[in-house]
Amino acid sequence: MFSLQKTGQHFNESTVSVLVPVFQAESFICETLDSLNEQVFQDFQLLISIDKSNDNTELVIKKWCQEHKNIPTQIFCQAHRLGWIKNINFLLEKCHTKYFMILPHDDLLDRTYLQKMVQCLEMNPQACTAFSDIQYFGAMESIVTQKSIKGERLERTLEFLLTFYNAVAFRGLVNRAMLSDFILLSENDCSNFAIDTVWNMQMVLKGEIIRIPEVLYNKRLHAHDDSVHNHWGKFSSREKSKALLEHHKDCLKIIFRAGFKQEELVRLIEASKARFLPELWNFNEKERASFVDTLLERTNTALDETKNNPSSKFLPMEHA
């Protein structure tokens, strides 16, 4: 169960929903919310889900919202810990506007972010997602980019499998009308490795994803970062191998449900295999051979699971 608080007016009449999953964020959440309040584009509403926290996050957010009633807002306070995936999915299921984006609790937007993303999607009706370059700040500073993926569905999916690794577009603005089946995040038993990338691949199947080549999004890296991405970076070779194989299966289960022709599936399977070969450079010969054997096994497993669940198209993986 959760408690709900509303502020502002005209909820669900906005063009954009900004979904903010929050946990233990009392020291920085106001900066994130301030970056929303400063947006040039004001036709948006705010959905906040506060995962059960042990600090003053809830009080800080409610105080901020009372001081900023210009933004239509719903605050959901979870009675039990959901974890970051279920917390995001909770918000996704509450979202009904034309466009939406996921904004993690510690990231910041340039004041023109929503304006430029909406303009991009309005000018490109074939696009599912618009996204910008990302500036890391805090413990480390760098800029992360990824190119647009355009064209027909097969070409988009092939390009994604061969070139798209970091989930930059996960932080983009999504055209909900392109999603005939609404898409939640999946889970896996490898610390939920790369599920944001898997989510992006489902967007690529639905439409183009378009890069705006500007730094309009700022991702905070904490000095003592215990984020899932930092955890993935500490995987042993064995853990990394298992995670890559699980990621391969997750991608293929989506592809097998998407209605590709047989000859197209052959190309996509080979592209998925090739996706992971560069990751094997630090494996010894025995480990590489074992990985390739298991890759084939996971391919067959993904196909079998999809055949046994033909109606589960684009559902979270835990339901597949």
Say whether pLDDT at 103 is over 90. yes
Supply the pLDDT for residue 226: 58
Q: How many CA atoms lie within 13 A of 273 on its CB side?
A: 17
Model pTM above 0.75: yes
Say whether pLDDT at 116 is over 60. yes
User: Could you give the percent of the chain with pLDDT greater than 90?
Assistant: 56
The average pLDDT across 100-110 equals 96
The average pLDDT across 10-24 equals 88
Supply the pLDDT for residue 44: 97
Say whether pLDDT at 277 is over 60. yes
Give the residue with greater pLDDT, 306 vs 311.
Answer: 306
Tokens 């999953």 found at = 21
Supply the pLDDT for residue 294: 78
C-alpha distances in angstroms, 68 versus 24, 50, 57, 137?
A: 21, 18, 17, 26
Which range has the worst mean pLDDT, 16-30, 119-133, 260-274, 295-309? 295-309
Positive/negative CA dihedral, 84, 131, 48, 56 = positive
Say whether pLDDT at 318 is over 60. no
Say whether pLDDT at 319 is over 50. no
Q: Which amino acid is at 53?
A: S
The average pLDDT across 264-291 equals 77
Supply the pLDDT for residue 273: 81
Any bridge partners for residue 18, and if so which?
46, 101
R_g over Cα of the chain: 20
What mean pLDDT value characterizes the chain?
86
Any bridge partners for residue 78, and if so which?
2
212 and 117 Cβ atoms separated by less than 8 Å: yes
15 and 44 Cβ atoms separated by less than 8 Å: yes
Supply the pLDDT for residue 58: 95
Supply the pLDDT for residue 11: 63
173 and 115 Cβ atoms separated by less than 8 Å: no
Say whether pLDDT at 320 is over 50. no
18 and 103 Cβ atoms separated by less than 8 Å: yes
Supply the pLDDT for residue 240: 81
CA–CA dist 87, 81 (Å, integer)? 9
CA–CA dist 249, 260 (Å, integer)? 17
For domain 1-106, is the CATH number 3.90.550.10?
yes
DSSP 73-113: EEEEEESS---HHHHHHHHHHH--SSEEEE--TT-EE-TTH
C-alpha distances in angstroms, 256 versus 122, 149, 245, 301, 315?
A: 31, 20, 16, 11, 13
Tokens 């959760």 found at = 2
The torsion angles phi and psi of 259, rounded to 5 degrees, stand at 80, 25
Q: Where are the domains of the chain?
A: 1-106, 232-319
Give tens-digit pLDDT for 35-91.
Answer: 999 999 999 999 999 999 999 999 999 999 999 999 999 999 999 999 999 999 999
The torsion angles phi and psi of 214, rounded to 5 degrees, stand at -140, 150
Say whether pLDDT at 316 is over 50. no
Helix (H, G, I), strand (E, B) or coil at 211: strand
CA–CA dist 313, 320 (Å, integer)? 8
The average pLDDT across 127-145 equals 90
**What pLDDT band is residue 248 in, cutting at 50, 70 and 90?**
confident
161 and 252 Cβ atoms separated by less than 8 Å: no
Give tens-digit pLDDT for 186-234.
Answer: 888 888 888 999 999 999 999 999 999 999 999 988 766 555 556 656 7
Give tens-digit pLDDT for 232-245.
Answer: 567 777 788 788 88
Supply the pLDDT for residue 296: 72
Helix (H, G, I), strand (E, B) or coil at 298: helix
Say whether pLDDT at 16 is over 90. yes
Q: Which two tokens stand for residue 66?
A: 């009372």
Any bridge partners for residue 48, and if so which?
20, 75
C-alpha distances in angstroms, 206 versus 125, 203, 209, 250?
A: 12, 5, 9, 17
Q: Which two tokens stand for residue 28?
A: 């920085």
